[in-house]
Structure 1
Amino acid sequence: MNISYRRRASAGLAALVLLPLAAIVRPARAQAQAPVQLFKLISPKDEIVVGIEAAQLGAGQGPGVQRLAELLVAKGQLTLWQYASQKDAGGALVQAPLRQVAVFKNELLRIEPYTTPLAIKAPAAAK
């Protein structure tokens, strides 16, 4: 009787440990496959959320943040889309391109991945 209780308890504990891990892994995979990846750019003056298309970011083994930083260092400046929360034609809240911005490598302090539960519109679908 004690053995059965221990097995159920250990199985339950394992499920409690693995469920949050599965929830973390799924969104990361979904964002990696998205046509647009969002990042928060932090400078001494402000912070903005920008999107970069997967084709522009390029394929690579490293995380998107690292690939974006390497691209910025290599080119010195990038033109990206600034993203903001907006309502689409149906009234649903989405992350959509707001305007194009030029980003210079010497003005940035930090690049962070940006996640959102909202749907992300591609730049081609911009106004």
Structure 2
Amino acid sequence: MTTNTLFRRTLLGLALLPVALAVRPVRAQAAASMQLFKVVSPRDEVIVGADAAQLGPGSNPAVERLAAQLAAKGQLTLWQYASHKDAGGALVQAPLKQIVVFRNELLRIEPYATPLAIQPPK
């Protein structure tokens, strides 16, 4: 590889650096708007996602706001999430299908932490 080619590649890499850095916050904002929860019943458990609008207003923890919304409305339509590989081959948490969660005395909702990127519903 000649010095001229190496210089061009380095210059191109430095020119594209601001673009790469600008994309990262947008992706983080999209993932931050969707929070995951584990809904546990005596029969099964599912991972669901709720955005800020579904959680409702307030400064309480997100899981408390989601539980309050479910108690007030009696049922919530949420996205069920599952891990799978995206188009680039990376493992992500992605929406699988919409499900309805009904208020039930035996139902438990808990925060769900994942190291994977969370894709918003389309």
Same fold? TM cut 0.5: yes
**In the alignment, is the contact (CA less than 8 A) between 2:54 and 2:66 conserved in 1?**
no
Q: Distance in 2 between matches of 1:37 and 1:84?
A: 13
**In the alignment, is the contact (CA less than 8 A) between 2:36 and 2:50 conserved in 1?**
yes
* Misfit runs of 4+, over 3 Å: none
TM-score normalised by the chain length of structure 1: 0.69
Once the two structures are superposed, the pairs formed by residues 102-117 of structure 1 within 5 Å of their partners are 102-106=100-104, 108-117=106-115
1:71 and 2:69 matched: yes
Q: CA deviation at 1:120?
A: 0.1
Q: CA deviation at 1:106?
A: 1.6
Q: Distance in 1 between matches of 2:40 and 2:59?
A: 24
Matched residue, 2:17: none
CA separation of 1:67 and 1:45: change in aligned 2, threshold 3 A? same
Q: CA deviation at 1:60?
A: 1.1
Q: Distance in 2 between matches of 1:53 and 1:103?
A: 15
**Residue number among 56, 69, 86 corresponding to 1:88 in the alignment:** 86
Length, aligned pairs only: 94
Matched residue, 2:15: none
Matched residue, 2:44: 46
Q: CA deviation at 1:58?
A: 2.3
Q: What value does the CA root-mean-square deviation take over the aligned residues?
A: 1.9
Q: CA deviation at 1:108?
A: 4.5
TM-score normalised by the chain length of structure 2: 0.72
CA separation of 1:83 and 1:107: change in aligned 2, threshold 3 A? farther
Q: CA deviation at 1:55?
A: 2.0
Q: Distance in 1 between matches of 2:116 and 2:57?
A: 24
Matched residue, 2:96: 98
Q: Distance in 2 between matches of 1:118 and 1:67?
A: 24
Q: Secondary structure at the match of 1:106?
A: coil
